[in-house]
Structure 1
Amino acid sequence: MSGDTVTQSATPAKITEAAALTTPSVAAAGATGRTLALSRAARELGLKRSELDLAVQLGCLRAVVDDGGGGRRIPRAEIDRLRAEKGFPEALRERVDAVGSYTAAEILGVPLSRFMRLARLGLVTPVTFSLNRYRAVVWLYLAAELRRFAADGKNARWLTGRMPEEQRRQLDAGLDLRPRNWRGRHLGFLLRQADDPWRRAAAPAALLDPIQVAEIVRDLYERAHLNSHRPARADHGPPDSPAAQITARIMTADDPDEIEWLQTDLQQSLAEARAHRLAPRPRRKVPASTAADWHETPVVEAGPAPHTPQGRRRPGRPQPTAGTAPGGRRGLLGWLRRRHH
């Protein structure tokens, strides 16, 4: 599978995860008691770190925001709840079990080539992806979803027999809905973890090109505030590396109808964010003269300047001389000495 995936809008994308989840799975750590670091929580649950991240995204457990700015943490109560569930830890591992294309084909009981066609048609949706050492995109799928797909009798025609002519033409034209389907699912993950209206607005913005965001968010300060709530993207190397560029292409919408849908969602979410809290703006520096005018003090009209005859100095503060001092003490002693001589 090449990293240069192509996304077209020949058929509607089948999204298995709702894109408008409203229940947040991230809260403030201060009100949740003791919390654990993600790596520690993964060990206590018998999961890999990537599996723990997926469990949070799927809503299997709740993460909280560290008050000290250290990122997300897992409440101890969430760990205890999962450990007390029936079938732990096998049941939890099954919920977050993500498999590659080879294993996915085995679960569906179809050849790898047929599974690839099903995935490109959007009949199964990736849950995450990674890049191998050859910078090829490796899509991963939830094993539990694949089992449900295989068990549904309505999908039997996709697992056996000849592929319908219309779908074969779409595949021949280069249709690949895996990136788009993943973006739809990822948007649901971002909305699930958003605990603030501005974070919810930043979720669709994270899947758009900055130019497309600017078409909706025209105010510079609102764009900056929105960007500060933008979720971090998956780390696949330095920003300008080929791996990072491939990741950016996957995470950025490129279908016209998908872009329009995300922009509409952004516009609605932005209106809700504005109603909740306006974006901060820098305080304007008020000149001293203007600030003084704000005080209600009587204003005295300036009259004509007093006329001073030419050659005469205006009365002012007397300047001390050699025989005088500001306090007058030195001048008095000098006058007494001159009087006795």
Structure 2
Amino acid sequence: MSRTTIAPPDSVSCTPSRAARELELKRVELDLAVHLGRIRTVPDAAGGARRVPRAEIDRLRAQPGFPDSLRETVLAVGTAEGAALLEVPPTRFTRLARLGLVVPVRFYLNRYRAVVWLYLAEELKQFAADRTNAFLLTGRTPEVFRSQLAAGVDLRPRNWRGRHLGFLLRQAEDPWQHAGALAGFLDPLQVAEIVKDPYERSHLNRFRPVPPAHCAPGTPAAHLVEKITMAEDPDEIDWLRSDLQRTLDEARVDQPAPRPSAKRTVPCPPEQRAAPGEPDTERPARGLLNRLCRRKPAALPTGTRKHPQRLRDAYSARNSPSWTTDTSRRPSRS
């Protein structure tokens, strides 16, 4: 009986799931810490997900107050908790978020397919401690802000896209990955207008980011997530298109997109090539197929074209075995 050899764990880096356990974090908290640049990751040599170096884990575990100090830096709160940190009503906190004064760090869809925005508690504490923001927390909202709210402004999706794009660009290691991050926030039709080569589009799609919320394709939840992740404002779209065009020019110079190799043709032997002035014919078939192609059909008796019965009798006589032509060898019927 053969024994299965278990590969020892990597002593240099580990998977995100194992790093979360060693840092006493939830997986979503670890992902957010990587997103914010609090935890350094390295590419996987085998081409898988990025890994966390062991030295980075040792550095974080050696910090004073671990693990509570690390958890506080990645604590994300919703509207109710954020309003409590700012000491304002939840409705006022929502207005501040719609105006872009507080920027969400993550979002998810609840069971009712409603978007739940999450904010970094550490940033909200800094916002409340800044004295220049005191007039936004108490008193009447300024007229310029009230007019924007009345017009339906909501900068939460755009601010989240800008923050998430910054994270993706920090993780990019070459121009193609940089271009893929930019293309992830544009509609596929707009990407096709910029990248007209189908091989370049196929190569670019390999580096498009995955949706932040896992939803089944084609469902209403997936359409809602797509609406949040795709740029909507004209100035935002123009900036992404121009930056994508510039990055693609750099990527083409750095490393062109792979293309399928040309089909190899088998050269015809010299003895089978057509002489000058003669029409070039196809290579003759070999083996049994060649003999069958060169075999001339036997002439049929005259007068069989207009009589189908004579044609069938002639065809049977021509293709019957030799022993059947001699009636003396045929078995007698009892």
1:172-223: CA deviations, max 9, x gaps? Answer: 1211100000000000010111122211111111011001111221221111
Aligned pairs (5 A) from 1:242-261: 242-261=220-239
Aligned pairs (5 A) from 1:207-222: 207-222=185-200
Per the alignment, in what secondary structure is the counterpart of residue 119 of structure 2? strand
2:35 counterpart residue number: 57
2:13 counterpart residue number: 35
**Contact in 1 for aligned 2:108/2:213 (Cα 8 Å):** no
Relative to the length of structure 1, the TM-score reads: 0.74
Q: Are residues 1:229 and 2:178 paired?
A: no
Identical aligned residues as a percent = 62
Per the alignment, in what secondary structure is the counterpart of residue 126 of structure 1? coil
Q: Are residues 1:156 and 2:156 paired?
A: no
Shift, 1:286, TM fit: 4.8
1:71-96: CA deviations, max 9, x gaps? Answer: 22212111111111233222211111
Q: Are residues 1:204 and 2:182 paired?
A: yes
Alignment size in residue pairs: 267
Shift, 1:166, TM fit: 2.0
1:222-252: CA deviations, max 9, x gaps? Answer: 1111101112222432111111111111111
Per the alignment, in what secondary structure is the counterpart of residue 51 of structure 2? strand
Q: Are residues 1:84 and 2:62 paired?
A: yes
Q: 2:118 aligns with which of 140, 165, 181?
A: 140
Q: Are residues 1:264 and 2:242 paired?
A: yes
Q: Are residues 1:94 and 2:72 paired?
A: yes
Relative to the length of structure 2, the TM-score reads: 0.75
Q: Which moved more, 1:279-288 or 1:108-117?
A: 279-288
1:168 counterpart residue number: 146
2:286 counterpart residue number: none
Whole-angstrom distance in 1 between the partners of 2:169 and 2:121? 23
CA change 1:188–1:303 in 2 (3 A) is closer
Whole-angstrom distance in 1 between the partners of 2:21 and 2:277? 84
**Contact in 2 for aligned 1:64/1:73 (Cα 8 Å):** yes
**Contact in 1 for aligned 2:175/2:250 (Cα 8 Å):** yes
1:131 counterpart residue number: 109
Shift, 1:46, TM fit: 1.2
Whole-angstrom distance in 1 between the partners of 2:232 and 2:277? 72
Aligned residues: CA RMSD: 2.2
Shift, 1:287, TM fit: 3.6
Whole-angstrom distance in 1 between the partners of 2:215 and 2:193? 29
Per the alignment, in what secondary structure is the counterpart of residue 67 of structure 1? coil
Shift, 1:109, TM fit: 1.1
**Contact in 2 for aligned 1:37/1:72 (Cα 8 Å):** yes
**Contact in 1 for aligned 2:41/2:53 (Cα 8 Å):** yes
Q: Which moved more, 1:279-288 or 1:72-81?
A: 279-288
Shift, 1:34, TM fit: 2.3
1:22-49: CA deviations, max 9, x gaps? Answer: xxxxxxxxxx952222121111111110
**Divergent runs of 4+, >6 A:** none
Whole-angstrom distance in 2 between the partners of 1:197 and 1:49? 29
Whole-angstrom distance in 2 between the partners of 1:303 and 1:45? 81
**Contact in 2 for aligned 1:97/1:143 (Cα 8 Å):** yes
Q: 1:75 aligns with which of 46, 53, 63?
A: 53
1:108 counterpart residue number: 86
